[in-house]
Amino acid sequence: MDEAIKKIVIEVTRDSDEERSTFPEVVAKLSAAGVERYHMDLARSERTFYMPDGTSELVPTHKHPQADQVFSAKDVDAAVRAIQQGESQYQEFCRRIAQAGCVGYHVFIAGRRTVYYGRNGDVHVEYFPGAK
């Protein structure tokens, strides 16, 4: 990953953590930079960004709460709806998905979906608005 793209992934991580950018803004910046996907590891408080050529960059994030033991796709979905409707921001979103048992998520930019997962492999797939 070249230095210009590394700067972008660090910037979008910081902007998310500090609630200065929305998810659609982050995805637009990453897409324009050619980032293929990223993984948010809530347990380790870090994001890994991946390029189509296989290169990647690991970026530390703000500390996340420990996830509950039981995964609730319904509660993850409710947290997604709340942030989409502007009823919460990123820190609250992370707290809510952790309470729902989510330990991480993968954002597939080209595939226009996010896959949230729990400790036992339970998942909730959320398509970007307007995607399918």
132 residues of the chain, pLDDT tens digit each: 899 999 999 999 999 999 999 889 999 999 999 999 999 999 999 999 999 999 999 999 999 889 989 999 999 999 999 999 989 899 999 999 999 999 999 999 999 999 999 999 999 999 997 766
Strand-pairing partners, residue 123, are 117
Q: What is the pTM (predicted TM-score) of this model?
A: 0.93
CB 70 within 8 A of CB 120: no
State how beta strands 56-60 and 46-50 pair: antiparallel
Classify residue 32 as exposed, middle or buried by CB count within 10 Å of its CB (0-12, 13-18, 19+).
exposed
Structural domain boundaries of the chain?
Answer: 3-64+103-127
Distance in angstroms (rounded) separating the CA atoms of residues 53 and 105: 21
**Secondary structure class of 96 (helix, strand, coil):** helix
